[in-house]
Structure 1
Amino acid sequence: MVVANDTIDFNRERSAWRLHRVPHVLSGLSEALDWQDTYPLRDAYEAFCRETPWGALYFAIGRTAPHGAERMSLRFQALLRFWEPLESARYLFSSPGTALTLGKLVEESCSWAMDAWCLVGGDSVRERLNTAAERMSRATREDSMEAILRQLPRVLTLARDLKDREAVADPFFQRERLSSLDSAAFERVSGAHPGTLIEKLYDWDLELGTH
Structure 2
Amino acid sequence: MTSGQSAALKLPSFLHGTFRSARQKAKREGLRCGEQYQKDGTFLLPRQMVDVPPGEVVVAHDVVDFQHERPAWRLYMVSDVMSGLREAVNWQNTLPMRDAYEDFCLETAWGALYFVLEQMGPVSAQRTAKRLQAVLNFWEPLESARYLFKKLGMAQTLEEVMVASCDWAMDAWCPLGDTSVRERLAMAAERMARATREDCLEAIFREMPRALEHAGKLMHRSVVADPDFQRERLATLDSWSFERVSGARSGDLIWLLTIWDRELEKQ
TM-score, normalised to structure 2, is: 0.76
The whole-number CA distance in structure 2 between the counterparts of 1:155 and 1:65 is 16
Q: Which of 195, 202, 209 is matched with 2:258 structurally?
A: 202
The whole-number CA distance in structure 2 between the counterparts of 1:153 and 1:56 is 29
Matching residue's letter, 2:78: V
Q: Are residues 1:50 and 2:109 paired? A: no
Q: Are residues 1:97 and 2:153 paired? A: yes
Q: Are residues 1:113 and 2:189 paired? A: no
Classify 1:109/1:10 alpha carbon distance in 2 versus 1 (closer, same or farther; 3 Å). farther
Q: Are residues 1:131 and 2:192 paired? A: no
Q: Are residues 1:62 and 2:118 paired? A: yes
Q: Is the 8 A contact 2:63 2:150 kept in 1?
A: no
Classify 1:47/1:194 alpha carbon distance in 2 versus 1 (closer, same or farther; 3 Å). same
Offset at residue 31 of structure 1 (A): 1.5
Matches within 5 A, 1:1-211: 1-121=57-177, 123-211=179-267
The whole-number CA distance in structure 1 between the counterparts of 2:116 and 2:97 is 19
TM-score, normalised to structure 1, is: 0.96
Q: Which runs of 5+ in 1 are unaligned?
A: none
Offset at residue 8 of structure 1 (A): 4.3
Range moving further from structure 2, 158-167 or 121-130 = 121-130
Q: Is the 8 A contact 2:64 2:151 kept in 1?
A: no
Offset at residue 122 of structure 1 (A): 5.7
Matching residue's letter, 1:108: A
The whole-number CA distance in structure 2 between the counterparts of 1:107 and 1:84 is 17
Matching residue's letter, 1:97: G
> Which of structures 1 and 2 has the bigger CA Rg?
2
Offset at residue 119 of structure 1 (A): 1.6
Q: Which runs of 5+ in 2 are unaligned?
A: 1-56
Q: CA RMSD in A?
A: 1.3
The whole-number CA distance in structure 2 between the counterparts of 1:10 and 1:148 is 36
Q: Is the 8 A contact 1:10 1:96 kept in 2?
A: no
The whole-number CA distance in structure 2 between the counterparts of 1:196 and 1:148 is 10
SS of the aligned residue for 1:156 comes to: helix
Runs of 4 or more, structure 1, over 4 Å off, are none
Q: Is the 8 A contact 1:178 1:186 kept in 2?
A: yes
Q: Is the 8 A contact 1:3 1:91 kept in 2?
A: yes
The whole-number CA distance in structure 1 between the counterparts of 2:197 and 2:127 is 15
Classify 1:187/1:170 alpha carbon distance in 2 versus 1 (closer, same or farther; 3 Å). same
Offset at residue 188 of structure 1 (A): 0.3
